Amino acid sequence: DLEGIRKRVDKRKKEFREGIVIVFAAKDDEVGIAVGVTDILTNKFDAVKFVKKGSEIIGGQGGGGRKDFAQAGGQDKSKIDEAFEKLKTLI
């Protein structure tokens, strides 16, 4: 569900005192990525940087948002695992 991707990230962020939430969603030829960073970590990590890197890998062109939440899209769902692995190296 591409429409509910933000809600899933917000829900998971509330469950953690400190953490980074990365969610991918795919439907037909569309892929969505959303990243949430808890407030305690926004001085160290920027959700926009994570989303831009993930979007490049899944065939998107960037995306945007704020340090605590960002989202983007792409077209290549076969690259979701690759994007996730790359994003983990940024932590």
* Closest CA relative to residue 26, chosen from 1, 59, 58: 1
Place of tokens 């005192």: 17
pLDDT of residue 61: 87
For 6-52, the pLDDT digits (tens) are 999 999 999 998 999 999 999 998 999 999 999 999 999 999 999 99
The per-residue pLDDT for 26 is: 93
Residue type, 36: G
What is the reported pLDDT for 73?
94
Say if residues 31 and 74 touch (Cβ distance below 8 Å).
yes
Residue 3 has pLDDT above 90, yes or no: no
**Which two structure tokens, joined as six digits, stand for 78?**
């076969």
pTM: 0.93
- Contact (Cβ atoms closer than 8 angstroms) between residue 68 and residue 42: yes
